[in-house]
Amino acid sequence: MANQQLPRCGPVAHFLGRVWVKLFGWKIEGKAPPIAKCVFIAAPHTSNWDMPHMLGVSWDLGIKVAWMGKKQIFRWPFEGFMKALGGIPVDRSAKHRMVDKVADLFNESDAMYLVVPVSGTRSRTEYWKSGFYHIARAANVPILCSYLDYTKGTTGIDLVLEPTGDIVADMDKLREFYAPFEGRFPELQSRIRLREEDDLEAEKKTAEEAG
């Protein structure tokens, strides 16, 4: 995918990002990839500090990221500030059409790095939320993988995954990529697995027993 309109942050955000990264001593590995649109995921997520660190690193790399938040937090007097940080208000009461709505946002944008939570919480869960995967498929954009490794003090962007529709194979690549990294609280790291993988295993087992 050609690097035509990589979403760039402004000079103020870039400066703040450089200051933030230097202040907290992060070592950035990799750089902004030559793609204009992607679903942007970051893991492991175990601390409230992960979001500001992710924003700081993104700005240091010159990337303007977008993120979705419930529309209630975009009310005056915070609306302008939230949107300046890349926020996009969404109506979470319409969850059944969320994937299609986000795919429409991609189609309407020339460039967008959309941050989609994968664990959905900083506490340990048995499954990642699958929205990031289905949004990428529906919008026909790659999944860009970033990380915060608190043990080594490193952060960066490395894997660009083109989702194939083979959920298990694609998730195997994500499991391999994120295996070396530890969050601020490793005991809170979520298992890297989708519920759909369990469903597929159950269907396969049923078919084998029936056959």
Can you tell me the mean pLDDT for 181-192? Answer: 95
Q: 109-139 in b/e burial notation, b at 16+ Cβ within 10 A?
A: eebbbbbbbbbeebeebebbbbbbbbbbbbb
Any domain includes 172: yes
Any domain includes 112: yes
Report which listed range, 80-84, 189-193, 203-207, is most confident.
Answer: 189-193
> Residue 70 belongs to what domain range?
11-210
pLDDT at position 90, please?
77
Least confident range from 57-61, 71-75, 131-135, 181-185: namely 71-75
Any domain includes 76: yes
Can you tell me the mean pLDDT for 25-40? Answer: 91
Q: Say how far apart CA 116 and CA 22 lie, in whole Å.
A: 26
Any domain includes 2: no
Can you tell me the mean pLDDT for 75-86? Answer: 84
Q: Which of residues 91 and 206 earns the better pLDDT score? A: 206
Any domain includes 1: no
Give the number of domains in the chain.
Answer: 1
CA count, 13 A, side-chain hemisphere, 93: 2
Q: What percent of the chain shows pLDDT beyond 70? A: 95
Q: What is the pTM of this model?
A: 0.88
> Quick one: pLDDT band at residue 20, thresholds 50, 70, 90?
very high
Any domain includes 191: yes
CA count, 13 A, side-chain hemisphere, 76: 0
pLDDT at position 2, please?
42
**Above 90 in pLDDT, residue 68?**
no
